[in-house]
């Protein structure tokens, strides 16, 4: 059974979405996500340090238990058109604590001002900057939520193609892996999803990729060759239209020989981990267990 807190948040999200203007108002959407994120403040013991990564604004976010040599490169969600350090500082802080990692949260360039492949270029740059700064791939994790999850995969694929040593692990929360929107959950979960709508999810990609083929492997990683990617943890909600994006990714990755840990969370919605509910705490704790178990072996 879902917790009372999650039921209340789901009702709030439905009301919030219903209050938004019809059609895509980019400025209003960006402000709306900032407002939602302000409801989940960062704990007072978290250290936040602003920095730049080869000209890219970013933040270092570290819980008191963060191991100096362990870094989690976190790529925020927002359909490639929304999101910032402000919107994802809180979840980055929770992940820092659970994984005992310093988190680097870059503000990669957003579309439509900076369309594909700007976000990938910035994410690749951020990873290489970490390597050049002395961090070891075997103590690094890369991950993200929603579009940030898709961007994580595109970054790994780009690094693999270029011959870079890949990080040890990847963590994907409700990853957006099919920008064409062909998954069956786009219809079967449309009523249950309190946040995302199929029409908007299918209309938004044009702002990021223009006329580029939506099945391009760096756009929709379910069409990519995933062989050789690091072990991955994938979490997704059972009540979200992007459920099929995760299911198909996991099937594809497993078939390619990638080690995958996969969990579908009953009664949960898109990137529920960002909210102050018991299920989110459990999910964040499980991310920590995954990372700490794997990296303690590799240390």
Point out the least confidently predicted range of 38-42, 127-131, 143-147, 228-232. 38-42
Query: How many C-beta atoms lie closer than 10 Å to residue 210's C-beta?
Result: 11
Among 28-42, 171-185, 195-209, 262-276, the range scoring the smallest mean pLDDT is: 28-42
Rounded Cα distance, 219 and 101, in Å: 28
Phi/psi at 138 (5° precision): -70, -10
Q: Mean pLDDT: which of 10-24, 28-42, 251-265 is highest?
A: 251-265
pLDDT for 75 beyond 50: yes
Q: Which pTM value belongs to this model?
A: 0.97
Q: What is the mean pLDDT of residues 56-69?
A: 97
Residue 231 per-residue DSSP state: P
Of 146, 154, 174, 244, which is the active-site residue? Answer: 146
Model confidence at 276, pLDDT cuts 50, 70, 90, reads: very high
Compute CA 201 distance to the chain's CA centroid, rounded to the nearest angstrom.
16
Q: Of the listed 29, 84, 220, 240, which one is catalytic?
A: 240
Q: Of 206, 260, 204, which is closest to residue 230 (Cα–Cα)?
A: 260
Active site residue 146: yes
pLDDT at position 280 is: 98
> Does position 299 have pLDDT exceeding 50, yes or no?
no
Could you identify the residue written with the tokens 């840990």? 261
The CATH number of 33-298, from 3.90.340.10, 3.40.50.1100, 3.40.50.1820, 3.30.70.1060, is 3.40.50.1820
Question: Is-catalytic flag, 270?
Answer: yes
Provide the residue ranges of all domains of the chain, joining segments of one domain with +.
33-298
Segment 215-222 shows an average pLDDT of 98
Cα 123 from Cα 155, distance rounded (Å): 6
Give residue 297's pLDDT: 54
Length of the chain, please? 299
| Percent share of the chain, pLDDT over 90 | 91
What pLDDT is recorded for position 19? Answer: 83
Active-site position among 76, 235, 252, 270: 270
**Mind listing the pLDDT tens digit for each residue in 83-129?**
999 999 999 999 999 999 999 999 999 999 999 999 999 999 999 99
pLDDT in tens, 1-33: 999 999 999 999 999 888 877 777 898 899 989
């Amino acid at each position: 059974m879902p917790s009372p807190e999650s039921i209340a948040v789901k009702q709030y999200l439905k009301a919030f979405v219903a209050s938004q203007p019809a059609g895509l108002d980019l400025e209003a959407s960006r402000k709306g996500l900032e407002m939602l994120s302000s409801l989940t403040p960062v704990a007072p013991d978290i250290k936040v340090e602003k920095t730049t990564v080869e000209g890219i604004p970013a933040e270092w976010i570290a819980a008191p238990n963060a191991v100096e040599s362990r870094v989690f490169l976190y790529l925020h969600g927002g359909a490639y058109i929304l999101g910032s350090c402000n919107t994802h500082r809180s979840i980055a802080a929770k992940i820092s604590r659970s994984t005992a990692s310093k988190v680097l949260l870059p503000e990669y360039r957003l579309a439509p001002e900076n369309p594909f492949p700007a976000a990938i270029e910035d994410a690749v740059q951020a990873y290489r900057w970490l390597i050049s700064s002395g961090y070891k791939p075997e103590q690094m994790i890369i991950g993200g939520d929603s579009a940030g999850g898709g961007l994580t995969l595109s970054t790994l694929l780009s690094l693999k193609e270029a011959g870079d040593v890949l990080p040890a692990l990847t963590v994907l929360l409700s990853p957006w892996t099919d920008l064409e929107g062909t998954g069956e959950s786009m219809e079967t979960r449309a009523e249950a999803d309190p946040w995302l709508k199929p029409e908007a999810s299918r209309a938004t990609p044009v702002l990021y990729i223009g006329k580029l083929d939506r099945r391009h492997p760096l756009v929709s990683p379910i069409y990519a060759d995933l062989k050789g990617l690091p072990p991955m943890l994938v979490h997704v909600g059972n009540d979200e239209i992007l459920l099929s994006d995760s299911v198909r990714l996991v099937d594809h990755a497993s078939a390619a020989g990638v080690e995958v840990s996969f969990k579908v969370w009953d009664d949960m919605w898109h990137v529920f981990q960002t909210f102050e509910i018991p299920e989110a705490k459990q999910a964040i704790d499980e991310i920590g267990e995954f990372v700490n178990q794997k990296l303690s072996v590799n240390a």
